[in-house]
Amino acid sequence: MVTAASLVTLVGAVTGAISALSAPREGRAGPSVVRGSDVADRAHATKAAGQAQPRAPSRHGPDTATPTSAVTRAPSTRSTSPAPPLLYRHPGSQVLDWVRAHPGDPRTAVIASRIADRPAAVWFTDPDPGTIAARVSAVTADAVAQRRVPVLVPYTIPDRDCGGASQGGAPDPTAYDAWIEAFARGLGPGEVIVILEPDSVAQSGCLSRADRAARFASLARAGRVLKAADPRARVYYDAGHSGWNPPDKQAALLRQAGAADADGVFSNVSNFRTTAEEMAYDRQVLAALGGPARLGAVIDTSRNGNGAPPDGQWCDPAGRRIGRAPTLDTGAARIDAYLWVKLPGESDGCRGTAGTFTPSYAYDLARGASGTPDSGS
């Protein structure tokens, strides 16, 4: 998976939604992280996955806060059922900055209505434990004030992206554990969704046996720390995507990382696999994982409207389009949410610098140029 993250000093959020583009190591590119202002970490992930042979993510980009647009859950039609909660959109993102700065551009209306106005994840990529709690708190407090649910992406695991484009992260497991503790202090008491370290499990094959065991121990501990800090936090672990590891293999890795004690798994971050493919895959992973029946999955639908390119291209491939709008109301068994973890329009590194917003790419994705619609998801 490839992910670009721009690290301002606040929230690592992929411009507007996150820009995470990643692919399994066997056929992807790694993340790239950039630092931005002292107000927010924008994680522009440039994460994309290869089709036949997944690759590792490449997620860097600017670390600043990414907007997660206002909603996207349709309220329940039953008068007896409460309306599902709305997702949070962070007000600071590359796409919003571009829209505000280009009111006269003929592409602005389409990009604004179809991408900038959608809820998206906020990425945190700065490994400094001294500032992370305040940066997380700034986002969660704003979300509480708006009565929205934020989607947060901690992305600072040691050996991140296995030295790929999004390399970086904490210097060692001890430093990472301290960082996660500080991250957890910023969660507050509200409902929040945590997408814990994209690619950290599916891509772990690049590590030595000892380093992999240390990573899984840190991930298991992270899940416990996050849940203890905020019982309303929903923590999801990395399941890669349907074109990466077989379900049984991925489930075995997830079990070692403590996923069975969390809330479930996430898949397709910065990738293009159809929602239907991911639903089937995630259910197989959950079945093999075991654990409580309440475990569910969330799917990144930010760029999967036309599915994955037939040639396996992962870097800003042509003919792709945005997928289902972010929502916590999927109506599908064991599928907890469709989320925009990577922000559409943030480049994987081919149509623009990795992790930066590229209006021509965003416009093509928003218009849904060519390809077969993801009708099955």
Residues 6+ apart with CB under 8 A from 171: 127, 158
Residues 6+ apart with CB under 8 A from 169: 127, 155, 156, 157, 158, 159, 160, 176
Among 80, 105, 85, 84, smallest CA distance to 95 is for 105
C-beta contacts of 288-291 below 8 A and 24+ residues apart: 288/247, 288/248, 288/250, 288/251, 288/252, 289/251, 289/254, 289/255, 289/259, 289/260, 289/265, 290/251, 290/255, 290/260, 291/259, 291/260, 291/261
> How far apart are the C-alpha atoms of 23 and 240, rounded to whole Å?
8
With beta carbons less than 8 A apart as the criterion, state whether 357 and 42 touch.
no
Residue 199: active-site member = yes
Helix, strand, or coil (residue 33): strand
Residue 300 Cα to chain centre, angstroms: 7
> 238, 263, 348, 364: which is the annotated catalytic residue?
348
> How far apart are the C-alpha atoms of 1 and 165, rounded to whole Å?
10
Rg (CA), the chain: 18
Please provide the distance, in angstroms rounded to a whole number, between the alpha carbons at the two ends of the chain: 21
Residue 322 identity: I
Q: Phi and psi for 217 in degrees, rounded to 5?
A: -65, -40
Residues 6+ apart with CB under 8 A from 254: 201, 237, 238, 239, 260, 265, 285, 289
DSSP summary character for residue 116? I
> 199, 238, 336, 374: which is the annotated catalytic residue?
199
Residue 117: active-site member = no
> How far apart are the C-alpha atoms of 224 and 303, rounded to whole Å?
31
> 161, 263, 282, 316: which is the annotated catalytic residue?
161
Residue 351 Cα to chain centre, angstroms: 21
Residue 311: active-site member = no
Would you name the residues annotated as active-site residues? 161, 199, 348
